[in-house]
Amino acid sequence: MMRKTMLVAVTFMLLCGCATSPNVQNVQGEPNVRNAECDRKCLEGFVTQYLDAIAAHNPNALPVAANLKFTENNEELELGEGMWKTFTKLTGYRRDILDVKQGVAVSFLVVEGGDTPTLYVIMLKVEDNKVSEIETMTVRNREEGMLYNPDTLKTVMPLMLSEVPANQRTPREEMIRIAVTYSEGLRIGSFEKAESPMALDAYRYENGQLMAGPGCTFFPGCEVMGTQAIPTLSEITHRVIAVDEELGVVAMRMNFGKGSLFSGDGVLDVWHSFKIFDDQIHAAEAYCKEVPAGQTSGWD
């Protein structure tokens, strides 16, 4: 009789959906989630909604959580402030990095604010079908970004948009480890000593300027990214923002710290991204902005 009663109770709990709560761990250690996962199409759609809303200067058009946090250039603002006021139009440059596991979308864009091309990067965190976090940065001119060459950012490099075949994909955690070796190389002043695995034809663009790889003429020896001379940035910090496992791209946020500018007392605040497959870095593309030394991102 007792066994029958227990079976009835369990059946009732399963039917009414109350057998588990979102905070209970399953046997694999992953949290049980009630809401459907926001897949790649869903995350891409949120980026489009954000861009449509900012183009209309209408923050109410974006579905946001009650506890939304929004920053632009390391300053916490109300949604609708900052770039939302000066935005005029999109261009043809948009490069999305979609992390389904975390519900995070990062997009590198070129937009116009007034008549000025603006390098614009956004991060959206999606939870319960609403945006709960927005982190953004703008670079409007050479004074803000040291290197500033929007003329090369008319279209996205095909390599950054191509899906990595399954047999060439590097596992997620290994992709992160490899991306972090780039930061470590800058910390000690040598990609070789950091054993950062870079393909011989790997390239790097910063604010649209070719800084490493085939065809680089910015300074002697920059044709090979893995062996080029780099500064020693002992104060560098980094955060991994998103991992796009299909495209093989890791997005990171870095503060390069002291010694990262050609002149002046500021530092470089950098949104970086790395194309990784076959366990090597094949490309790196970044937006960089000069900020005062000691300035925090607001998300550290």
Distance CA 230, CA 125 (A): 33
Distance CA 44, CA 164 (A): 18
* Strand pairing category for 249-255 and 267-277: antiparallel
Domain ranges of the chain: 40-140, 159-291
What CATH fold (topology level) applies to the domain 159-291? Answer: Nuclear Transport Factor 2; Chain: A, (3.10.450)
Integer CA distances (angstroms), 251 to 30, 115, 176, 254, in order? 23, 29, 9, 10
Domains 40-140 and 159-291 share a fold: yes
Chosen CATH of 40-140 out of 1.10.10.60, 3.40.430.10, 3.20.20.210, 3.10.450.50: 3.10.450.50
Per-residue pLDDT of the chain (300 residues; tens, 9 = 90+): 434 443 334 333 333 333 333 332 333 333 333 345 899 999 999 999 999 999 999 999 999 999 999 999 999 999 999 999 999 999 999 999 999 999 999 999 999 988 889 999 999 999 999 999 999 999 999 999 888 999 999 999 999 999 999 999 999 999 999 999 999 999 999 999 999 999 999 999 999 999 999 999 999 999 999 999 999 999 999 999 999 999 999 999 999 988 878 777 889 999 999 999 999 999 999 999 999 988 888 888
Q: Which ranges of 56-139 would DSSP assign to H, the alpha helix?
A: 83-86
**Local structure of 65: helix, strand or coil:** strand
Tokens of 222: 């920059």
